[in-house]
Amino acid sequence: MMKKKYAFLLYYTLLVFISWSVYSNITSRRADDGDGDDGDDDDGGDVENQIFLPLSLFTQAREIISVGKIPLVATVNKGFLELTHNWLCNTEFMHVHDQVILIATDLSAYTVISKRWPDVKVTLWEIDSKLADEQKYPSPGYRKLTLIRVKFLLALLRHGISFLQFETDCFWRRSPLARLGSYRGYDVIAAQKGNGEFADDYTPSLSVGFVFVNATSAAVEIWKEMIKRLEADVTTAWEQTILDALCKERFNGANCELFPYSAITDGVWYKMNDAMRATLAQDPDIINTNWVVGNRKKVKMLKLFKQWFVEDDRDTCGKRPLWMKSERSI
């Protein structure tokens, strides 16, 4: 009798594990855009690698979608906690926290954020412990995190989940989400990469620091191709360079668009003089801090421009400027 009982428990445990694995496997074929699966199993190379994501990620995303909102997804680790805390303080009154999912790649980041911000959805997805600390651009660790992020975003797309990917090392003057309503029928809508060298013949290109991705078959194919190219060239290929090229060639019929630079700007903004800002991005919704390398430098820059919202105790959110209080409901 006892042997039958233990056999049943073992069978039940295995059944639960297999069900969870199938649901969260990155090789799932779902793409709920009405086109269905193309039936092509030849992804090539390491795209078929199995990445097991926690079921909570998909549950949280569907909870957000069920109330008519778009999941805002960002990855964070222990080395990014200070900047993440600042962004959460920055956006505390913008009514966006209920649609944010922070994917913590180490237990320390998960514990700190969950305790300090209980209303924010956090999913623990532990990866290589060596990647828990700051990974500076363009280090091997930074590249590895980039590839991992692309793979888990592919998992979301294959489960029919559209999302907006953002990064927490940024400043939000106001929520930009209302802008998404004017962009319908696109597979990818991304921020623009700034003209860092201020070249006269600059051609706008795509940035992955703020990008909306619609869960269509075209987007799935783009993300699969990105993984192939990243894994084929792990030393020089970059996520946003590949995505920009695929969008420009309309890979698999993809329809891509750029947000105006005046609305979603990047770290080049910090290099501009007042006249350039007045012309290119006088009043942006968002300023990302790429082009500023290293977390210490990012923090210093944000403080210099009065875009830092955390007190010296590194926990309390500071007083908000009057102009931000007037826009708290936007």
Secondary structure string (H, E, C) spanning the chain: CHHHHHHHHHHHHHHHHHHHHHHHECCCCCCCCCCCCCCCCCCCHHHHCCCECCHHHHHHHHHHHHCCCCCEEEEECHHHHHHHHHHHHHCCCCCCHHHEEEEECCHHHHHHHHHHCCCCEEEECCCCHHHCCCCCCCCHHHHHHHHHHHHHHHHHHHCCCCEEEECCCEEECCCCHHHHHHCCCCCEEEEEECCCCCCCCCCCEEEEEEEEECCCHHHHHHHHHHHHHHHHCCCCCCHHHHHHHHHHCCHHHCCEEECCCCCEECHHHHHCCHHHHHHHCCCCCEEECCCCCCHHHHHHHHHHCCCCCECCCCCCECCCCHHHHCCCCC
The mean pLDDT value for 217-227 works out to: 96
Residue 180 is predicted with a pLDDT of: 85
pLDDT single digits (tens) 30-84: 333 333 333 333 443 444 455 678 899 999 999 999 999 999 999 999 989 999 9
pLDDT single digits (tens) 205-215: 999 999 999 99
The mean pLDDT value for 158-170 works out to: 96
Confidence of residue 300 (pLDDT cuts 50, 70, 90): very high
Residue 33 is predicted with a pLDDT of: 36
Confidence of residue 219 (pLDDT cuts 50, 70, 90): very high
The pTM for the full model equals 0.81
Residue 20 has pLDDT above 70, yes or no: no
